[in-house]
A and B are shown apart, each in its own frame.
Chain A
Amino acid sequence: MLDASEGYTTEDGRKIGGVVMEMKNITLRFGGVVAIQDISFDIREGEIRAIIGPNGAGKSSMLNVISGFYNPQEGEVWYKGAKRPPMKPYEVARQGIARTFQNIALFEGMSVLDNVMTGRIRQMKAGMLAQAIWKGKAEREEVENREVVEKIIDFLEIQHIRKTPVGRLPYGLKKRVELARALAAEPSILLLDEPMAGMNVEEKEDMSRFVLDVNDEFGTTIALIEHDMGVVMDLSDRVVVMDYGKKIGDGTPDEVRNNQAVIDAYLGVAHD
């Protein structure tokens, strides 16, 4: 195992830092159903970490544990070298963890720009009255935040839909807007819940490029859940494989690809 404090350099020359988040023996139950059973893994700074597994393996539950939506019954979440107490999702967000959703969760009636601006809420500190009058601090803040948002709009190439209500957009673009909103929070860890689900090949290629570019340009640590094996193997540095709530593999894409337990889980195995 690599030392937690040291980093390494990937083949294509990206620097991966030390462990930023660690899941220790996480178990999550819903009544009698065990969604996650005694899973441990870590996420290193600057890496693209994928969580894969067949349907119902517990991937989304795992992501929800990271984002603070679920609090596990057993186990500990360590973030930036400290144990994280049970938290509400907004508290987790404040710590610099942003996410996108499997079923897009945008404000349909609002424009793309306004949706992305909501990602900056953490950075807006002016009081309600100041916001309403829109003078002084509120105005300054708006301008500063708009600048950040515009850079993200430029980065994700969605300038042409800046003023379009989200409800009118096709699915692939909505996904991109959601990514923009998550990025607007300038997260240190970005959680992507099936970013390519329901996309055609071209949209997947675009999205993959954006994920790589985000990681490369902003150095954002990315944890993603994905179904499409091809995409996962191309994008990620390390992969956790889950099946029936258990971890059955962990390592580089190559290691995982040759892992017998993983092959069995994906291709099925004869029960004798």
Chain B
Amino acid sequence: MAQSPQAAGGFASIPALLQRNASAFGSKAAYREKEYGIWQSWSWSDTEKEIEALALGFLNLGVNEGDFIAVIGRNRPYFYWAIVAAQSVGAIPVPLYQDSAAEEMAYVMEHCGARFAVVEDQEQVDKLIEIQDGLHQFEHMIYIDPRGMRKYDHHKLHQFSHVQEQGRAAHEEFIGDLKARREKLDYSSICVMLYTSGTTGRPKGVVLSNRNIIEASKSSSEFDTLGPGEEVLAYLPMAWVGDFIFSIGQAYWTGFCVNCPENADTMMHDLREIGPTYYFAPPRVFENQLTNVMIRMEDAGRFKQWLFHKFMAHARKVGPAILDGQPVGFMDKLKYGLGNLLVYGPLKDTLGLGRVRVGYTAGEAIGPEIFDFYRSLGINLKQLYGQTEASVFITLQPDGGVRSDTVGVPAPGVEIKIADNGEVFYRSPGTFEYYYKNEESTKSTKDEEGWVATGDAGFFDDETGQLRIIDRAKDVGKMADGAMFAPKYVENKLKFFPNILEAVLFGNQREECTAFINIDLNAVGNWAERNNIGYASYQELAGHPKVLETIKSHVEDVNRSLADDPMLAHCQVHRFLVLHKELDADDGEMTRTRKVRRGVISEKFEDLLGALYDGSDEIYTTTEVTYEDGRKGSISATLKIVDAAVSPVERAKVAAE
């Protein structure tokens, strides 16, 4: 097959892929959106016409090559068209988070100097009008939903469908220009600019070229053999790189159909109706779905409950093996088949995951129980590791090599190296071009050879050859004996138990690890109610001997699993205590996004930390608390310090030698 060394298959841009799709899959559905209670659909050839009309309309409004066009709204076909239409006229689309506050939006709009914006409705129009005085380059706004817009001044405000009409009317005049601009696009032209969420400092504009997006989409589609028959549900923010890759990159590369929900609240219904074959969700979504299933099962009749638990136990035993194609006994297979008929199939249907062939989760650690639950049902859920700067893909789990504690093998075309401090670096065709107007950050992130620092620490698992991410690189420390100390990894393991809400691990520069633990009031309270354990306050429940016993068993479970892991065996928790108050952002112990502030906590609870290391059995402490209205008070308690059994580490070493 003759393939140009430059562009994959000779298609050097998304608009070029659009034209290929319109001729190759003309009548096949490209987009669907539920509106007025039914699924409206557009074929690839419809899509091409819609995008062309909009692109001509853009020219009619005076869009120049190199202009930035902001796209602000929830997942709707119109916005995806706006992105591709912008690319077609040589402009750069910049999708933004539609729920960001006006000031945040103002920063980004000013930073990229967008001249145009395509927005959803009155709400977004109002937001932009509010900030437009500060935006010197901003000129025209195009809205999709005309509701409530009649009274606005329409000099610089246009309805989406009118822009398209004007474009169609001016076809003769502009088609030549459009074709010329479209043909100019090559592998190195900018495909999109995406802003990374600003958890540290201001958001940065990541510039991704056609090469980045198309190469990443091509190799990842081949990795999972995605074809034109796939169905995806586009429901994650359009400003997020994942949605760009799934709903534009891979969709245009393979020609599959992107389905848009009716609105954010109907997502679960729409998921069931569409039954996607390729699905991505963050761990939180899977967690919520599982919780819902469990709660509804508790209300089910006796027989159904029995059936559910009986077959789920079987699924846990053999489900993952069957999914991975490993040999399983005939009777087990037969029983799994029966379970599929009675339980798994209907359950998957209810969840909307009945047709999922490839499913991914990423972003945070997913609890092994949750992960295994879905896999045991026969849903091919896998993990990937990626970031905006890499056009998503750094590592992916291959079919048949899926584990809950790894993130997979390097994606095709991606090279990975691990620095001495454990930080993961990568280099790939998907690696971003530069940060817009921020040379300094570009230099500190991407070196001259193209290696990009992820900021995460990890290592390759010996057994599977897959990458394991353990923590943010700056949080990883060393214990007194020089072994690696990775607090978040252990804390996540603890937090996978529903009874544990938060955990804080200590051990940097120390002989052994210890932990503070917060119980989850809902889960533990529920358990107390069922077991007739009375309690008057959080503090009393947290100090109840039976609760301590339960938590101790959880800690020991974690220790056992850590002991199997030569890299992290020394991070086992030797002693712990259950805190008398919930860690709270109001008290400065956590960030607003619920990440623990290690420094603040170890200072504030210095006495408790001391007690964990000086061998005492209990400690009396008084802590200041801030109420929601800003008043301050204090609570005091005597906390028990519990020794947890640790599994010997040496044994593993000896066995290895």
- A: residues with CB less than 8 A from B are 12-13, 113, 146-147, 150-151, 153-155, 157, 159-160, 162-163, 213, 216-217
Measured CA separation A18–B499 after assembly (Å): 67
For the complex with contacts A146-B37, A150-B38, 17 further pairs of A-B residues with Cβ separation under 8 Å are A13-B151, A113-B37, A153-B36, A153-B37, A154-B36, A155-B147, A157-B263, A159-B263, A160-B263, A160-B265, A160-B266, A162-B37, A213-B147, A216-B148, A216-B150, A217-B147, A217-B148
Please encode chain B, from 230 to 266, with 1 for each CB lying within 8 Å of some chain A CB and 0 for all others.
Answer: 0000000000000000000000000000000011011
Tell whether B364 is near chain A: CB-to-CB under 8 Å. Answer: no
Contacts of A150 in B (CB 8 A): 36-38
A238 CA / B150 CA spacing, docked (Å): 23
Q: Which of A13, A147, A160 contacts B36 (CB 8 A)?
A: A147
- Assuming the contacts A147-B36, A153-B37, asked whether A159 and B265 have C-beta atoms less than 8 A apart, the reply is yes
Alpha-carbon distance A150/B147, docked complex (angstroms): 16
- Residue among B35, B36, B147, B151 facing the most chain A CB atoms (10 A cut-off): B36
Question: What CA separation (Å) do A115 and B148 show in the bound complex?
Answer: 26
Q: Is the CB of B262 within 8 A of A12?
A: no
Q: Is B269 an interface residue (CB 8 A)?
A: yes
Interface centre among B37, B148, B263 (most CB of A within 10 A): B37
Flag B27-51 by CB within 8 Å of A: 1 or 0 each.
0000000011110000000000000
B269 to A160, Cβ gap below 8 A? yes
Interface bin, chain B: 10 to 19
| CB-nearest residue of chain A to B263 | A159
List of A residues within 8 angstroms of B151 by Cβ: 12-13
Minimum CB–CB distance for A47 against chain B, Å: 16
Which residues of A lie under 8 Å from residue B147 when comparing CB positions?
Answer: 155, 213, 217
Contacts of A216 in B (CB 8 A): 148, 150
| A159:B262 contact, CB within 8 angstroms | yes
Shortest distance from the beta carbon of B117 to any chain A beta carbon, whole Å: 23
What's the least CB distance linking B520 to chain A, in Å?
Answer: 27
CB distance from B298 to the nearest CB of A (A): 19
Q: Which residues of B contact A217 (CB under 8 A)?
A: 147-148
Contacts of B36 in A (CB 8 A): 147, 150-151, 153-154
| Most chain B CB within a 10 A radius of its CB, from A150, A159, A216 | A159
Residue from the list A13, A146, A159 in contact with B266, Cβ < 8 A = A159
What are the residues of chain B within 8 A of A13 when measuring CB–CB? 151
Contacts of A157 in B (CB 8 A): 263
Cα A146 to Cα B262 in complex, Å, equals 17
Instruction: Give B91-150 interface residues, CB cut-off 8 Å to A.
Output: 147-148, 150
Complexed CA–CA distance, A147 and B40 (Å) = 13
> With a CB–CB cut-off of 8 A, which chain A residues contact B148?
213, 216-217
B10 nearest CB across to chain A (Å): 43
Residues in A with CB closer than 8 Å to B262 are 159-160
Question: Nearest CB to that of A149 among chain B residues?
Answer: B37
What are 9 A-B contacts with C-beta separation under 8 Å?
A: A12-B151, A13-B151, A146-B37, A150-B36, A150-B38, A153-B37, A154-B36, A160-B266, A213-B148
Q: Which residue of the partner chain A has the closest CB to B150?
A: A216
Question: Which chain B positions have C-beta within 8 A of A159?
Answer: 37, 262-263, 265-266
A177 CB, min distance to chain B CBs, angstroms: 15
Kindly state the separation between the CA atoms of A153 and B38 in the bound complex, as whole angstroms.
Answer: 12
Contacting residues, chain B, for A163 (C-beta < 8 A): 269
B265 to chain A, nearest CB (A): 4
Instruction: Tell me how far the C-beta of A111 lies from the nearest C-beta in chain B, rounded to whole angstroms.
Output: 12
B565-606 vs A, CB cutoff 8 Å, 1 = contact: the mask equals 000000000000000000000000000000000000000000
Closest residue of chain A to B151 (Cβ to Cβ) is A13
In angstroms, how far is the closest chain B Cβ from the Cβ of A216?
Answer: 7
Query: How far in angstroms is the closest Cβ of chain A from B40?
Result: 12
Which A residues lie within 8 Å of B38 (CB)?
150
A217 vs B150: C-alpha distance in the bound complex, in angstroms? 9
Q: A183 CB to closest chain B CB, in angstroms? A: 14
Contact in complex: B35, A154 (CB < 8 Å)? yes
Determine the chain A residues whose CB is within 8 A of the CB of B35 once the complex forms. 154
CB distance from A148 to the nearest CB of B (A): 10
Q: How far is the CA of A213 from the CA of B148 in the complex (A)?
A: 7
Bound Cα distance A155, B146 (Å): 12
Using CB atoms, name the residue of chain B closest to A158.
B265
A36 to B: closest C-beta gap in Å: 36
Cβ–Cβ < 8 Å partners of A147 in chain B: 36
Q: How many whole Å from A53's CB to the nearest CB in chain B?
A: 31
Q: Which 10 residue pairs spanning A and B have beta carbons closest together?
A: A160-B265, A150-B36, A150-B37, A160-B266, A159-B262, A159-B266, A13-B151, A159-B263, A154-B36, A213-B148
CB distance from A116 to the nearest CB of B (A): 11
Determine how close the nearest CB of chain A comes to the CB of B150; give it in whole angstroms.
Answer: 7
Q: Which residues of B are found within 8 Å of A12, using beta-carbon distances?
A: 151
Closest A residue to B145 by CB, please name it. A154
**What's the least CB distance linking A87 to chain B, in Å?**
35
Chain B nearest CB from A149 CB (Å) reads 9
Q: Which residue of B lies closest to A160 (CB)?
A: B265
Bound complex: CA of A12 vs CA of B262, how far in Å? 32
Closest chain B CB from A176 CB (angstroms): 13
A153 vs B266: C-alpha distance when bound (angstroms): 13
Q: In the complex the two chains form, what is the Cα distance from A13 to B148 in whole Å?
A: 13
CA distance A13 to B153 in the complex (A): 12
Q: When chains A and B are docked, how far (Å) is the Cα of A113 from the Cα of B38?
A: 13
The chain B residue sitting closest to A147, CB to CB, is B36
Nearest chain B CB to A41 CB, angstrom units: 28
Q: Closest CB-CB distance, A129 to chain B, in whole Å?
A: 27
Chain A residues in 8 Å Cβ range of B265? 159-160
A151 to B36, CA, bound (A): 6
Q: How far is the CA of A162 from the CA of B38 in the complex (A)?
A: 12
Complex: how many Å from CA A160 to CA B265?
6
A47 to B150: give the CA distance in the assembly, Å: 17
Least Cβ–Cβ distance between A179 and chain B, in angstroms: 16
Interface-central residue, A13, A147, A160, A213, by most chain B CB under 10 Å: A160
Distance between Cα atoms of A162 and B37 in the complex (Å): 9
Question: How distant is B273 from chain A, measured CB to nearest CB, in Å?
Answer: 11
In the assembled complex, which residues on chain A have CB atoms less than 8 Å from the CB atom of B37? 113, 146, 150, 153, 159, 162
User: Which residue of A is nearest B264, CB measured?
Assistant: A160
Q: How far is the CB of B440 from chain A (nearest CB, A)?
A: 44
Complex CA distance for A154 and B265, rounded to whole angstroms: 13
Complex Cα spacing A271 to B262, Å: 59
A150–B34 CA distance with the chains assembled, in angstroms? 11
Select from chain A the residue with minimum beta-carbon distance to B268: A160
Say how far A115's CB is from chain B's closest CB, in angstroms: 15
Q: How far is the CB of A113 from chain B (nearest CB, A)?
A: 8
Inter-chain contacts of A154 with B (CB < 8 A) = 35-36
CB-CB under 8 A from A155, the residues of chain B are 147
Query: In the bound complex, what is the Cα–Cα distance between A157 and B262 (angstroms)?
Result: 10
Residue of B whose beta carbon sits closest to that of A163: B269
Most buried by B among A113, A147, A154, A157: A154
Give CA–CA (A151, B150) in the complex, Å.
Answer: 18
A100–chain B nearest beta-carbon distance, Å: 21
Minimum CB–CB distance from A10 to chain B (whole Å) comes to: 11
CA distance A135 to B361 in the complex (A): 47
- Measured in the bound complex, the distance between the Cα atoms of B150 and A13 in whole Å is 10
Per the bound structure, the CA–CA distance linking A150 and B40 in Å amounts to 14
Cα–Cα, bound, A35→B150 (Å): 42
A14: nearest residue on chain B (CB-CB)?
B151
User: What distance in Å separates the Cβ of B174 from its nearest Cβ neighbour in chain A?
Assistant: 34
B151 to chain A, nearest CB (A): 6
CA distance A184 to B323 in the complex (A): 50
| C-alpha gap A216/B148 in the complex (Å) | 8
Q: How far is the CB of B351 from chain A (nearest CB, A)?
A: 17
Q: How far is the CA of A159 from the CA of B269 in the complex (A)?
A: 10
Chain B residues whose C-beta falls within 8 Å of the C-beta of A213 in the assembled complex: 147-148
A218 CA to B187 CA, complexed, in Å: 50
* B residues in contact with A151, CB < 8 Å: 36
B124 vs chain A, min Cβ distance (A): 16
